[in-house]
Amino acid sequence: MENAGRGLADKLAELGTAGPVAICCGKGNNAGDGFVLARHLDVRRLEVRVLVWGDPAALAGDARINFDCIARSGIAIEVFSGHDGPRLAQCLEGAAWIVDALLGTGATGEPRPPLDQVIDTLNAHPAPKLAVDLPSGLDCDTGQPAGHTIRAAHTCTFVAAKPGFLVPGADQYTGQVHVLDIGIPRRLIEEVLREQGESG
């Protein structure tokens, strides 16, 4: 998670941002990556706003540890229990980038409320979106989008591109895909990719 968040910060710096970054988080490990990203951007003196959907007390494992880190760091955090369109619009005002760390690879089917409306609101905002691992709402295996799916300008995925990213039309949601190295042993990666090729 630490390597993922630092890699995301490096990529955002490479893409260029001079304004606030709004990091939109759910309640899983994808959110944890977003919390680490927030910390690394703050160290670089970039304005960061972390928006969380769900009770932070329900976070577990590394995601909880990294939330506690940013909570003590003075980074702006807004916790949402629902969509709350007017408040969300205020939090997104002036954002140079919106980071989608809402749903990870474990999510299936249609995004549940309130994330369905949240995704629609984020898509309607003019700031470019960067998706963490995959755009929320996109099936990483089939490449099929849900009715509410983030349309990212860039997707930073980890270790290797997801099979669904190669499906025609998926690029409407992923934008440009960047594969980030997070320190997984090369031999393990090669074995997994070989097994995927054989099963395909």
Residue 97 contacts residue 130 (beta carbons within 8 Å): yes
The 10 Å CB-count burial string (b at 16+, else e) for 98-113 is bbbbbbbbebeeebee
* Per-residue pLDDT tens over the stretch 109-161: 899 999 999 999 999 999 999 999 999 999 999 999 999 999 999 999 987 88
Identify the pLDDT of residue 197: 54
Is the per-residue pLDDT at 105 higher than 60? yes
First to last CA, the chain: 29
Decide: pTM greater than 0.85.
yes
Is the per-residue pLDDT at 182 higher than 70? no
* Per-residue pLDDT tens over the stretch 38-86: 999 999 999 999 999 999 999 999 999 999 999 999 999 999 999 999 9
Identify the pLDDT of residue 165: 96
164/107: higher pLDDT: 164
- Please name the amino acid found at residue 30: N
- Please name the amino acid found at residue 75: I
Identify the pLDDT of residue 89: 96
DSSP letters spanning 31-63: HHHHHHHHHHHHHTT--EEEEEES-GGG--HHH
Q: pLDDT above 90 covers what percent of the chain?
A: 79
What mean pLDDT is reported for the chain?
91
- Token duo for residue 113: 């409320």
Report how far residue 149's alpha carbon sits from residue 19's, in angstroms, rounded to the nearest whole number.
25
Nearest in space to 118 (alpha carbons), one of 140, 139, 137, 142: 137
